[in-house]
Amino acid sequence: MDKLQTAATVLIVPGLREHVAEHWQTLLEARLCKVRSVPPLETDKLDCEARVRAIQHQLEQIEGPVILVAHSAGVLMVAHWAARHSRPIKGALLAAPPDLDASWPQGYPSTETLRTHGWNPLPQGPLPFRSLVAASTNDHLASLEAVTQMARNWGSELVNLGAVGHLNPAAGYGEWPQAEAFIRTLDR
């Protein structure tokens, strides 16, 4: 299978579960020619500021145009990064952002824990680059209404993917070929 050629370097920004072998981001990374990924944190994995620094560190290693590809809490990390840093970004694919105001299922951090670690308040202003927010109609971490409002606040184009859960291996994604199509669109 041929690798996907892009003019821009793609920076993969995983969520809190970081790099999962069967996750579409991990599989996508293997298919791209020009790609980097934000590595797992070795210390407090919930520290939002440390995650923003990790994004910035990776971006400092990349010359030329960049497309960000974020999933779940990675989307929130990108919003926090964009509010603190200035660097031209060609575009961003922001998939399945969670709603910090929702009650998440057991096993996920609480709203208070996230606030303590710097996630809340989430930056609400427009992102300074083109972005596509890919939303699910049945995500257990965010309602379609909440994601629609995030996309509106960020000045992003909303793409309703239908009932894809949280767009992760537990929801049956593995491969997500549509991500490549979105990257091609952003890379034009």
Could you tell me whether strands 131-135 and 157-160 are parallel, antiparallel, or unpaired per DSSP bridges? parallel
In a domain, 151, yes or no: yes
pLDDT of 136 reads 97
Domain with 45, as residue range(s), is 9-187
In-domain check, residue 131: yes
- Considering only 76-90, 146-160, 162-176, which range has the smallest mean pLDDT? 162-176
Q: Determine which helix (DSSP H) or strand (DSSP E) holds 168, and give its type and residue range.
A: none
Percent residues over pLDDT 90 in the chain: 82
Give a yes or no: residue 3 inside a domain: no
pTM to 2 decimal places: 0.95
Q: pLDDT band for position 55 (50/70/90)? A: very high
The answer to the question of residue 2 being in a domain is no
Query: Residue with structure tokens 């964009």?
Result: 82
Number of structural domains the chain divides into: 1
Cα Rg, the chain, nearest whole Å:
15
Let me know if residue 107 belongs to a domain. Answer: yes
Residue 4, in any domain of the structure: no
Residue carrying the six token digits 């990257």: 183
Residue 115 neighbours by CB distance under 10 Å = 14
Task: Give the model confidence (pLDDT) of 104-154 as tens digits.
Answer: 888 889 888 999 999 999 999 999 999 999 999 999 999 999 999 999 999
What is the per-residue pLDDT for 93? 98
* Cβ atoms within 10 Å of 137's Cβ, excluding its own: 13
Q: What angle do CA 24, 79, 41 make, to 5 degrees?
A: 60
181, part of any domain: yes
Q: Tell me, what CATH number does 41's domain have?
A: 3.40.50.1820
